[in-house]
């Protein structure tokens, strides 16, 4: 096994890499044929795969993770936040917040847009409409 690995690293790999059709000039890339481009696919895939693996290993915080707690600021002194709104008090329609980020609680002010962008979530408001008579 060691002999195979030694031969591969010392002879086969350098021969393979030295035979890759890498042009000397920028314009040379446009003169490569189909077989030349095809021979560049495996090393490009290996470099891309290694780059992505290193990215995942050393940059695991690509997207912030939401905390387990949804409500961070609304009436924290209460055991449970409950709002009662009479349907008669709604003009035509009302949008109620579901992300707990609204400064106009319990009504939606669009704060879920930033929340969705940061967490990859898909929250939106609950929209209540009066039934047309």
pLDDT in tens, 88-121: 777 788 888 888 888 888 889 998 888 888 888 8
Active site (annotated) includes residue 80? yes
Q: Give the model's confidence band at 51: pLDDT under 50 very low, under 70 low, under 90 confident, else very high.
A: very high
CA 82 to each of CA 39, 94, 119: distance values in angstroms, whole numbers, following the listed order: 65, 17, 25
Catalytic residue among 35, 76, 80, 93: 80
120: left (phi over 0), alpha (psi -120 to 50) or beta: left
Q: For the chain, what is the mean pLDDT? A: 83
Q: How far is it, in rounded angstroms, from Cα 65 to Cα 63?
A: 6
The pTM of the full predicted model, rounded to 2 decimals, is: 0.44
Q: Can you tell me the mean pLDDT for 8-22?
A: 80
């Amino acid at each position: 096994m060691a002999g195979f690995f030694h031969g591969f690293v010392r002879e086969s790999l350098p021969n393979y890499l030295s035979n890759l059709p890498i042009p000397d000039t920028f314009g040379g890339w446009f003169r490569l044929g189909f077989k030349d481009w095809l021979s560049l696919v495996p090393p490009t895939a290996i470099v891309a795969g290694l780059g992505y693996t290193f990215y995942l290993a050393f940059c695991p915080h690509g997207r912030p993770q939401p905390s387990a707690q949804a409500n961070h600021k609304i009436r924290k002194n209460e055991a449970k936040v409950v709002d009662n709104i009479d349907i008669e008090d709604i003009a035509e329609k009302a949008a109620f917040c579901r992300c707990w980020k609204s400064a106009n609680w319990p009504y939606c002010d669009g704060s879920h847009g930033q929340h969705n962008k940061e967490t990859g979530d898909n929250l939106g408001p609950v929209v209540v409409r009066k039934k047309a008579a």
